[in-house]
Amino acid sequence: MDKDLQARQEARELAKKAEQAQVVLAGFPQSKLDTIVAAVARDFAAAAPELAQLAVQETGFGNVEDKTVKNEFASKNVAGAIKNMKTVGILKKEPGYWEVGVPVGVIAAIVPSTNPTSTVCYKALIALKSGNSILFSPHPKAIACTLRAVQVVARAAEKAGAPAGSVGCLSIPSMDGCRELMNVPEVKLILATGGPGMVRAAYSSGKPAIGVGAGNGPAYIHRSADIRQALSCILRSKTFDYGTVCASEQSIIVEKEMEENVRRTASQMGFYFMNKEEAGRLAKLLFKPNGTLNPDIVGKSARVLAEKAGFPVPGSTQVLVAREQEAGPTRPYSMEKLCPVLAFFVMDSKEAVLSKAIEVLRHEGSGHTFAIHAKDEEVVEEFALQIPVSRFLVNTPAALGGIGKTTRLFPALTLGCGAVGGSSSSNNISPLDLINIRRVAWDADNPQVQVDEDLVEILTRKILERLG
C-alpha cells in the first residue's frame, strides 16, 4: 500500500476512535473536563523545553528560548484563562429562558510548522474543555515534534480520565491524509491554522471551519508616543521567536516630522536600516518567483538573513529595515515576512498614515492586527473606528499582545480575521467557539404555566448524553 493510501486509511481509523471517545466526553460534567484540562496543561508545561528543542531542530525556525515561552503560554496561560469558564451543560438560567452548551463533536486541527508544538497544546485544551475530541494533521516539516507534543497531551488526558482516542494525530505526512481527515463524516469542525492554501482547503471541505488569514500588521508611531518605548515594544515583538508569530509587526509607519528621531533612536537599539542595494539583495530572498514566502528565511535571525543576502551588518543588529512607500504584489517589503524584517513608511500627515495603513492591510492582512503607539486617546479612537482589523493593539508588542500574553485578549494561537479577512470568526479562538448553544425557551404569553425546572434539567442532560 502506498503512502497516500496508508495516510487516508489512518485518518479514517483515527476518526472512528475519536467519535467513540467524543460520545464519552460529551457525557462528562464540567468538573471532569476541567480535571483533564488541568492535567494536560501541567504535563505539557513540564515538557515545554524538550518540545521547543525538538521543534527548532526539526524545522529550523525560531529559537529554543522563545519556543519554550510559547509552549508555556499555550499550557499555563490558556489553562488559566479557561479554568472557570462554563462550556457544557446549563450555561445560563433565567425565568423562561435557558442556554445549554453542546460540544460540536470531533475536531480536525491543522498544525503550522512555525508553532508546531504550542499549537497542539492550545487546541487540545480548548477542545477538551468544551467536551470535544481532536485530531491533528501536522505539517510535513514538523511531523516528529508535533507527534511528540500530541503524545504528551494524549497520555496526560487519558491518565486524567479521558477515553482513548480523545486526542490523536496523523503520523504519515501526506496531503491526501490531511484532506481525508477534513472530509471524513465523523469530523464536524475544522480548526485550521497554517498557510492560505490549507485554510482554503478547510473552507472548501464542505464542513464548518474556523480559519485564519495572513498577518501583515503595520505599527504606527504617533507623534504623542514615547519613541524609545514604542521601538522597544516593536523590537521585542519582531525578534520573538525570530518573527514567526503572525501578529508581529510587518512595517513601521511614521509622519515625516518623526522620521529622523525614529531612525536615530532605532539605530541605537539594534534596528539596521538597509541601503537600496542591500534591501534589493534581501528582497530577492524573501519570496519565491511564484509569490510565496521563501521557507529558507522564515524564523531566521537578522544577522543570518543579512549573511544569506551577502552584506555585512553590525554585531548588534536584531532587525533589518527597508524604506518602502507602496504596497502591492511587486513590493515584497509590504507583505507578511515571518522573520525580523520590517518595512519603513514615511508619510506627510496623520491622514496619509491612516490611508497607507488601510492600503497595506487591504493588500494583505485585512482583519488581522494593527498596532499603534500613542498617548493621545483621540487618535487611538480615530484609527480604531476605521482600521479593518480584529485586533487593534495600543502601546504593546504586537506579537505578544495579539495572542493575549500582554493584553486582556483571550490567550490563543488561532487568531480569526473576521469576514473582511475571509474568516468565519474575528475572535481569538476559545472553547466557546467550539460549542453550539441550545436555547430552552418557555411560552412568553403564558407565564402562569409552571414547569418543574429540575425535571427539565435532568431531561436535558439525558438528551445531551444520548445525542453526544
Catalytic residues: 246
Residues 6 or more apart in contact with residue 305 via CB below 8 angstroms: 282, 285, 297, 320, 339, 340, 341
Q: Cα(300)–Cα(212) distance, rounded to whole angstroms?
A: 23
DSSP code for 347:
E
What are the start-end ranges of the H helices in 135-258? 143-159, 175-183, 196-203, 227-239
Residue 107 forms beta bridges with which residues? 134, 189
Which residue has cell 499549537? 119
HSE (side-chain half, CA atoms, 13 Å) at 265: 15
Q: Coil, helix or strand for 58?
A: helix
| One-letter identity of residue 463 | I
- Look up residue 245 and give its three cell numbers: 508569530
The H or E element that residue 322 is part of is strand 319-323
Q: Are the CB atoms for 54 and 144 separated by under 8 Å?
A: yes
DSSP code for 160:
T
Strand pairing class (106-110; 187-192): parallel
| One-letter identity of residue 39 | A
Taking the CB of residue 120, how many other CB atoms lie within 10 A of it? Answer: 32
Taking the CB of residue 414, how many other CB atoms lie within 10 A of it? Answer: 27
Q: Cα(383)–Cα(375) distance, rounded to whole angstroms?
A: 13
Q: Cα(37)–Cα(41) distance, rounded to whole angstroms?
A: 6
Residues 6 or more apart in contact with residue 248 via CB below 8 angstroms: 215, 217, 237, 238, 240, 398, 399, 402
Q: Cα(265)–Cα(170) distance, rounded to whole angstroms?
A: 49
Of 126, 28, 27, nearest to 74 by C-alpha is 126
- Look up residue 377 and give its three cell numbers: 486617546
Q: Cα(308)–Cα(286) distance, rounded to whole angstroms?
A: 11
Q: Coil, helix or strand for 213?
A: coil
Q: Cα(442)–Cα(147) distance, rounded to whole angstroms?
A: 48
Q: Are the CB atoms for 201 and 177 separated by under 8 Å?
A: no
